[in-house]
Amino acid sequence: MSTEWIEQQNGANQRDAADASARNQQAVGAARRVANQGPEVFQRFVKELKINTDALPNLVGEELSGSTSPQGMTSCQVNVTWHNIRYGPNILSWNFHYSPQGIRLVIWDKPELLFHFRLRHDNEVGIGYGDSVVTPEKMAELTVQKMRELARTTT
């Protein structure tokens, strides 16, 4: 009787175990990187939100204003206002909070959302946005663009 297959299976089992160990080490490294960089990613996000909201009045003919008010190192409130003569002002106010898992979005009378911190393809920590992982700067831009769009809605 031949037991060659047992040696082959043992080799395959050892390779599978080594692969699993490598994946486990990768996951631990990724989790450590996210935990270490999460606060800095949140601060970059808040800084870029402020830049974007402060620039809203520069949109010609749109009658917009905005503000970002950091509340300590872990929260901020973002306001976007459409100053419409016909309908009156429409004010959106969103609150963002840091959590170790990501950025929590709290909007009055809406379910809370969590945008998870995830590693991007370049191994930098980013923010999960749908099927993508974006930089904090891009997330701030997308956020203010969405708020602008919703503020300019008359219904």
Radius of gyration over every alpha carbon of the chain, rounded to an integer in angstroms: 23
For 69-101, write each residue's pLDDT tens digit. Answer: 988 789 999 999 999 878 788 999 999 999 999
Mean pLDDT (whole number) for 98-113: 94
Which stretch of DSSP H or E encloses residue 19?
A: helix 4-55
For 51-74, write each residue's pLDDT tens digit. Answer: 999 999 999 989 999 999 988 789
**37 contacts 119 by C-beta, under 8 angstroms:** no
Cα–Cα–Cα angle for 107, 89, 82, rounded to 5 degrees: 75
Question: Distance (Å, rounded) from C-alpha 124 to C-alpha 33?
Answer: 8
Backbone angles phi, psi at 71, to 5 degrees: -120, 85
Question: Tokens at residue 128, please?
Answer: 């999960």
pLDDT at res. 79: 96
SS3 content of the chain, % helix, strand, coil (to 5): 45, 30, 25
Question: What's the DSSP call for residue 58?
Answer: G
Domain boundaries, the chain: 38-151
- Beta-strand pair 113-119/88-99: unpaired
Helix axes 4-55, 136-151, angle to 10 degrees: 50
pLDDT tier, 111 (very low <50, low <70, confident <90, very high otherwise): very high
pTM strictly above 0.85? no
Q: Which CATH number does 38-151 carry?
A: 3.10.110
Handedness of CA 139, 67, 55, 83 (dihedral sign): positive
For 23-38, write each residue's pLDDT tens digit. Answer: 777 666 666 777 778 8
